[in-house]
Structure 1
């Protein structure tokens, strides 16, 4: 499932090229997850887990930590309204997954084995466009305010999503999908507004709600998209014979998602309060104060443990992006070509099911496991399980290829069970973020290290869907290894992650009590530079 694009500001070098200073707007800084250093340079409150839907995720820094007081209550109404606005981006992104393969096949008159390439291309271009414009949204938010940018981006997503359902050619699909990526800046703005509304003591709760809202969006998006795609064929008693739905079979799904976006526009415009002014009157570091980080990228990468943790961050991101891109194509492809032959509705239900399973693993099981075993142990267990999770996909196809009633029964016993258990590998998404927290040398390097991690993950997301869906198309078209080529590649890639987790640094080999001790130290330390990860 998926990471956010990098949001770091401009970079300047000194004459020796040994030092680097990064000037980051508060919005961009808040969109970066704070990397809490494991050394003595800074103390921090680090919750055990955060929720993720498409891969490693990041939580924003708190830009107003200096001015906030511990007794300030969390404005729950505002946080909930912002969480509703946060729903729109994942709903819009994931709503097309159940039917995009069928849509590209019909719009491009493609052979079944070729549809994976174009669906992956559409996904990749969305991510690349989103990555390129995030910084611009950040600068606009600092200049004109959070609320206007939030409302404008939500309007853009609604228009682009509605337009996508009327596309009749592949170039039109690409155009409207890229347009949606351009306006996908709402997630950054929402993150910053939540950060500005919360304190060090309340931001853990605020960003837990933020993460849950994202998972709800991942859950709802495929359900809406699959349930309403091609209604003339899915619900012939109601929609068959209506020219509009037969000419534009995917318009209903897109229009409903756009309507949800419009409700978020109205709610945001009427009830969400501007937050930019909250930090402009405080003492010390304010919303208009850039953060200066005197460490060079070269020196940071040479810091103990940083390189291997960044590698694991990128590796697990690549696995997540590849799986998210390939699975809908695999489920849509016919059984004889190496897929499961599912309808858009069935795909949407399974996507929602796996999203729910991931959320349960992250919310219910990860915190006690991390507390008892430590971050590295959880990561290594996930690394061990990952190859088996990838390998179950061709097994499921092999069961269906028998084309027997008994095989169908076995499949529907195995598939939900294995998908639910296998979704536990999603704990590695949060685990690798905590490992990154621990390895940061100091507070001054937090934004730079986070920017490097986000740059790596967003770069991988820009090409991995097209690459891996193309590999699936090659395997399905040639029937090399019975169409299982992609799963052999992804199993080998997962084995690489199994190996790389064995080299995680000792900074994350912490006794279970360390987190609580650090929490108490953070509460008792009056250092205004203390940061928290929400």
Structure 2
């Protein structure tokens, strides 16, 4: 009989998801108008090179994030996840407002750099999710993070597409407000900052620290009642007494010395448990006695034998240096998965850059000639389907196929979409030849249908790939002490890829248009590169060991895997 899933701690998960939602809203709000914002800067009058400057703006965030992600990951392993998330969210609030005030390319790039340097929410949220889920519910928990991302990428483009240039588009409401005439892109950024303030306040009052929740032991599996304990989360000198689960199996939770619940995670299982087992929950309550109870003493001794380490060293007083943390991150399975994450982020970064640039470019240069509204609506409409996939489909598909297969299916789907988009330009030229007066004819219904389907496939591919690779990165970590640093390292590699992706795409796109090369070096060329990156990333995924499909294999270091190789 299948092991029942552990209920998610919804207050913690909900607050974490609200924080995670804020970032994509602020990040994607600029997609519908960034092409037009850069054009308004009067940096260039040549539409063929606007894509290059758009790439600089888009890459600035990730280049800055690259330099600080490892630092924030190490900081989160030392001072906790919660303060890092609060700092990152506050940075998003302030930098979003500053970006809305951009009236020059330099200002826009500077605000994006500061924004990226302050923000490590993505890696920290993954670390915290890994610490509050176990093997039975990690797929559901981790699927919520890209769900928030995809939901944010729905809301963000809608806000950006509808509220950019409000004085021009809604003169009756905003035409008399001088602020929106001087700063035509301020309103959507202001709305995003309001979302950020709500998320920050929720996190400040509701989010609980998850660092240093440590497993001590589990009782004999033959016993009718099992229990686990954790070391106190706040002070090495604190004592705790242990109570087991209720007989009816209801989890009583974990409570720290302040009375608030703490959570056991999947990595807190004993190393020699069978893969199908999962830890039960217990309650840790404060005790006025300074003498540990016999049960706690026995549990500590058992934990020392099981984990092969001194329990005192596992507490919050144990500190690893940054160099040691980085070395712990650079292990075989982890490096291979992070290489796949790099390829995926490079692919997604190139695609995210090229869709707004390509669709807003004039048809005679290889685009579709979209307006701000059309661009924003297509970005949002295609993303609605991902909510269903993220909530209902992925948690059921992932246990059946495994994270590795889900990743491979998604990455191949990305590669296919990379060829569909430029084919639409060719199709539209056949269906609607360009008139001599330079006007842009409306898209044919056939082109609209294919475009929407391609965008839907693209966002589904993003769900499959990013959710799966997040799970795989965490499953590959052998030393849970450096989980935050490992996620910071992975996020840094992702940031490098997302920085190189838009910049490379912008340079290649402008180079192709400026030189007026024939096929395949015309507007098709950048999309050919996108497809090649997709196939290369798929090849990297073929090197992954199937043991990383499950978290406990990352802990059973000396137990050979009996799984057969996963394949698509």
Is TM more than 0.5 here? yes
Map 1:370-385; keep pairs closer than 5 Å: 378=406, 381-382=409-410, 384-385=412-413
Per the alignment, in what secondary structure is the counterpart of residue 341 of structure 1?
coil
Report Cα offsets for 1:351-383 as digits up to 9, x if no partner.
223433445455555555555556665555555
The alignment status of 1:289 with 2:318, answered yes or no, reads yes
State whether residues 374 and 508 of structure 1, in contact with CA within 8 Å, keep that contact through their aligned partners in structure 2.
no
Q: Match for residue 470 of structure 1?
A: 507
Q: More deviation in 494-503 or 152-161?
A: 494-503
Q: Match for residue 41 of structure 2?
A: 107
Distance 1:143 1:386, change over 3 A: closer
Match of 1:90 among 24, 28, 34: 24
Distance 1:372 1:75, change over 3 A: closer
Distance 1:379 1:353, change over 3 A: same
Give the deviation of 1:130 after TM superposition: 1.8
Report Cα offsets for 1:281-318 as digits up to 9, x if no partner.
577323443469999979977x5x88766554433332
Q: Match for residue 282 of structure 2?
A: none
State whether residues 165 and 254 of structure 1, in contact with CA within 8 Å, keep that contact through their aligned partners in structure 2.
yes
Map 1:34-433; keep pairs closer than 5 Å: 74-110=8-44, 111-138=46-73, 146-194=81-129, 205-274=140-209, 279-281=233-235, 284=311, 285-290=314-319, 311-361=339-389, 363-366=391-394, 378=406, 381-382=409-410, 384-401=412-429, 402=432, 408-426=444-462, 427-431=464-468
Give the deviation of 1:190 after TM superposition: 4.3
Give the deviation of 1:203 after TM superposition: 5.2
Per the alignment, in what secondary structure is the counterpart of residue 112 of structure 1?
coil
Counting helix residues as a fraction of each chain, which structure ranks higher?
A: 1
Give the deviation of 1:322 after TM superposition: 0.8
Give the deviation of 1:280 after TM superposition: 3.6
Distance 1:332 1:154, change over 3 A: same
Per the alignment, in what secondary structure is the counterpart of residue 481 of structure 1?
coil
Distance 1:445 1:472, change over 3 A: farther
Give the deviation of 1:324 after TM superposition: 1.1
Give the deviation of 1:469 after TM superposition: 1.3
Give the deviation of 1:161 after TM superposition: 0.8
Give the deviation of 1:423 after TM superposition: 4.2
Question: Aligned residues, how many?
Answer: 448
Distance 1:99 1:192 in 2: 33
Give the deviation of 1:211 after TM superposition: 3.6
TM-score (norm 2): 0.66
State whether residues 294 and 444 of structure 1, in contact with CA within 8 Å, keep that contact through their aligned partners in structure 2.
no
Of structures 1 and 2, the larger Rg is shown by 2
Give the deviation of 1:96 after TM superposition: 1.1
Distance 2:471 2:104 in 1: 44
Q: More deviation in 83-92 or 348-357?
A: 348-357
State whether residues 360 and 371 of structure 2, in contact with CA within 8 Å, keep that contact through their aligned partners in structure 1.
yes
Distance 2:541 2:130 in 1: 30
Distance 1:364 1:291, change over 3 A: farther
Q: CA RMSD in A?
A: 4.3
Distance 1:330 1:489, change over 3 A: closer
**RCO (CA 8 Å, sep 6+): is it higher in 1 or 2?**
1
Per the alignment, in what secondary structure is the counterpart of residue 109 of structure 2?
helix
Give the deviation of 1:215 after TM superposition: 2.4
Give the deviation of 1:459 after TM superposition: 2.1
Q: Structure 1: where are the runs of 5+ without partners?
A: 1-44, 48-69, 528-534
Give the deviation of 1:336 after TM superposition: 1.8
Distance 1:488 1:244 in 2: 41
Distance 1:347 1:286, change over 3 A: farther
State whether residues 318 and 461 of structure 1, in contact with CA within 8 Å, keep that contact through their aligned partners in structure 2.
yes
Distance 1:128 1:223 in 2: 26
Report Cα offsets for 1:444-501 as digits up to 9, x if no partner.
8996976765443332222221111121122234443389735334325424643663
Distance 1:287 1:337, change over 3 A: farther
TM-score (norm 1): 0.70
Report Cα offsets for 1:38-83 as digits up to 9, x if no partner.
xxxxxxx999xxxxxxxxxxxxxxxxxxxxxx99x75422331232
